[in-house]
Amino acid sequence: MITLERDATISAKVESPYQSGMTASPTLSRAPDDRLRNRAAWQDVIDYKLVEWGQDPGRFVEEGLTPPSAMAIRGACVLAGILRDLDREAPQRVVPSGDGGIVFERRKGELFEKIEIQEDGSVEWAAFRNSRLQSRDRWDLNTRNARC
């Protein structure tokens, strides 16, 4: 388990999610400027999406969606911080799932990665190649005493 100062943990399998070996070591393959941009992109997700959603979850009710739950928002904030610190590529889309959760999505060529933080704070990850499921897993995320 990876442990952060803010008492959040996640299973170590998050470090290399694609079982196909497509992303061997993102840290080694990126220039320092790219890593800084990536960290900034994750921070934007936290500061300008997740925190704002936590402050005004009712905005989704008007659209007929169940707003992200407090547990989902807290889990998404913690997960975003962990993935940022592991230098994982930031998502291209962050959207409410519509049933109280939050979804991070990223596409790179023929690969598509989806991370869903469910209403209860549990996390499910799935990777697709050409729209076919390649791998799926459930990540153990402990957010005790963690804050967004």
pLDDT at 19: 37
pLDDT at site 27: 44
What pLDDT, on a 0 to 100 scale, did the predictor assign at position 32?
Answer: 80
The pLDDT score that the predictor gives to residue 147 is 67
Angle at 15 between CA 105 and CA 112, to 5 degrees: 25
Global pTM?
A: 0.79
pLDDT of 62 reads 77
Structure tokens at 55: 């402050």
Mean pLDDT on 51-60 = 88
Residue 25 has pLDDT above 50, yes or no: no
For the chain, what is the mean pLDDT?
A: 82
- Of the listed ranges 4-13, 75-84, 94-103, 120-129, the least confidently predicted one is 4-13
Strand 123-129, strand 111-117: pairing: antiparallel
The mean per-residue pLDDT over the stretch 83-88 comes to 93
140 vs 9 pLDDT, higher one: 140
- pLDDT at position 28 over 60: no
Between 12 and 3, the higher pLDDT residue = 12
At residue 138, the pLDDT reads 94
Give the strands of the sheet with 141-142, arranged side by side: 2-3, 9-10, 141-142
Q: What is the mean pLDDT of residues 12-20?
A: 43
